[in-house]
Chains A and B, each alone.
Chain A
Amino acid sequence: MTVVYKKSEGLTDLQLHYCPGCTHGIIHKLVAEVMVELGVLGDAIGVAPVGCSVLAYNYLNCDMHEAAHGRAPAVATGVKRVRPENVVFTYQGDGDLASIGTAEVVHAAHRGEKITTIFVNNAIYGMTGGQMAPTTLIGQKATTAPYGRDEAHCGKPLKISEMIATIDGAKFVERVSVHNPANIRKAKKAIKKAFECQLKGEGFALVEVLSTCPTNWGKTPIDALKWLEENMIPYYPLKNFRNFGEVK
């Protein structure tokens, strides 16, 4: 029998705890496959966030740190400064990176830390039960925005990739999505480039991955993918913002 597909050795054998239809599993797989394809799994040291992907340290088959909420880029900085020969990455959600951890990610980028950040944006706090995030869309309902997000009350959603792309130390910044196979392939390419940016010693790299949260959005997995495409992508355009220093 010919094996046409098998699970990446970059993932452990544990069963993921994610809700049905959540795209974290896809993004984990892409990160794992990229590390294996680049031959860096044995050199990799990852930093997991607080939030839905808090247990990423159990799923990715490499050395891992579990950081406090939002602090992953600071933890990764400590690791990378001690072990510059290793490949160091953070995996963070939007509550973690775009709210409590803005200072840490901005300054990791500003110092040009040679780390790779995978930023998963699903426009909501998932783990805590669907509260409003800085990335929640205008009008989108959340458990702490029961009438929908109101710009006059709490501003517009934060565009992290655009913000990080203004920082010179950030050498690779791209926003991708995983709502269909074509975009999953593009996402993988961007993640690979973000790791290559580190391997080449260029500087900070960030890939923002638009992701679904069927449970807290109150949608079926398929409707959630459709909602992402129709509502998130118009506000969060999929594009490369910085390609090894070249500003787009």
Chain B
Amino acid sequence: MAKVLMKGNEAVGAAAIKAGCKYFFGYPITPQNEIPEYMSRELPKIGGVFLQAESEIAAINMVYGASGAGARVMTSSSSPGIALKQEGISYIAGAELPCVIVNMMRGGPGLGGIQPSQADYFQATRGGGNGDYRHIVYAPSSIQETVDIMMESFDVAEMYRIPVMVLGDGMIGQMMEAVEFHEPKKRELQEKTWATDGTKGKRKPNIINSLFLDPQECENHNIRLEEKHKIISEKEVRYEAEGIEDADVVCVAYGTTSRIVKNAIVECKKEGIKVGIIRPITLWPFPMEIFDKINKNAKGVLTVEMSMGQMIDDVKIAVNGRFPVHFVGRSGGMVPTPANVIDSIKNIAGGVK
């Protein structure tokens, strides 16, 4: 298939439909409005349903209902809207239902701003909802990668019966790039024997639920969930790493920020500084083990984010005291420049010509 030029948000919608998503429930919020607009135009053409909910809270609960009834379903929003969805995400994770949630992050806290941001790292990876739950978080850095991840996310969600979040930002949502749509690798998916479609008098009722009043049963449920989280942590970690084994400085960045870092690295190389990059593609599970491959004589690790410093906590856990961990970040919708990053790399490398 030939490449087509698409805006990030529209590409999200197109990829979801190609992945078999027939149901979308959402609520308008900038900068992701092209996703619900695209879905409202395209889903009726394939016999699917787009519904604009009365709130983000209602939208995520419609997702909970639709997913429990066995559908491939998604919602999308941006930071404050995702905050409102956290209750529902916790219930969906608790009831072990699959769904895909897209967050095109904007500045915060509160109403914040509408420009690109990565300040929802904590919200996405730690969860704003209650309880011992996790969900997969993908952080694509191009429209092509967004499309590839969207197409795979529905399968991943169904394979593990877990919510999958695709974490972009205003930049990913709004920019245009050429994309191709490829079938993701085939995964073994079980039949949804747990879905509610009416007993027809032929089986026991299916119950979609996250309530366990007996504390021992609730703990057993959490132990089961944790076993699933461990399997995901072993099998689904994804990252890109380059030049880290002989690097003086290793940068860590995801999504839009990783593109800026890559430009900075090219400039530093011209000046003879060896700079590597680790780009987490899954933020949860976080690619901890690749940090073991960093050059033992590296002078430091530089975390670059569009936030005041959130992923840096995971970077510090992964580095485990072996190197100093530095930070460059812009927040509130401001985007770091390659110059910001180059200056920091040079400072860490120290005394480089």
Contact = CB atoms under 8 A, between A and B. Distances in A.
Contact of A107 (B54, B66, B210): B54
B68 A79 contact: yes
B146 to A, nearest CB: 25
Contacts of B29: none
Contact of B54 (A41, A58, A103): A103
B64 A65 contact: yes
Contact of B69 (A41, A54, A61, A83): A83
Interface in B173-214: 196-202, 205-211
B73 interface: yes
A77 B62 contact: yes
A64 B208 contact: yes
Q: What class of interface size applies to chain A in its complex with B?
A: 35 or more
A234 interface: no
Instruction: Output the residue of A12, A78, A81 with the most chain B CB within 10 A.
Output: A78
B61 A104 contact: yes
Contacts of B199: 41-42, 61-63
Contacts of A41: 199, 201
Interface stretch (A43-51, A147-155, A174-182, A185-193): A43-51
A107 B58 contact: yes
A19 interface: no
B197 A65 contact: no
B209 A65 contact: yes
* Interface residues on chain B, size class: 35 or more
A79 B65 contact: yes
B26 interface: no
A34 B50 CA distance: 32
Contacts of B64: 65, 67, 71, 75, 78
Given A65-B196, A82-B71, A74 B62 contact: yes
A66 interface: yes
A12 B49 CA distance: 34
Contacts of B68: 65, 75, 78-79
B62 A66 contact: no
B308 interface: no
Contacts of A12: 205
A92 B61 CA distance: 15
B139 interface: no
B63 interface: yes
B23 interface: yes
Interface string A75-114: 1111111110011000000000000000110110001000
Contacts of B232: none
B66 A82 contact: yes
B209 A104 contact: no
Interface string B54-79: 11011101111111111101000000
Contact of B205 (A61, A67, A68, A107): A61
Nearest to B91: A68
A82 B70 contact: yes
10 contacts: A62-B198, A62-B199, A67-B61, A71-B57, A71-B64, A76-B65, A79-B68, A80-B65, A82-B66, A86-B69
Given A82-B71, A104-B54, 9 more contacts: A12-B205, A64-B207, A67-B61, A74-B58, A77-B51, A78-B25, A82-B66, A83-B70, A104-B58
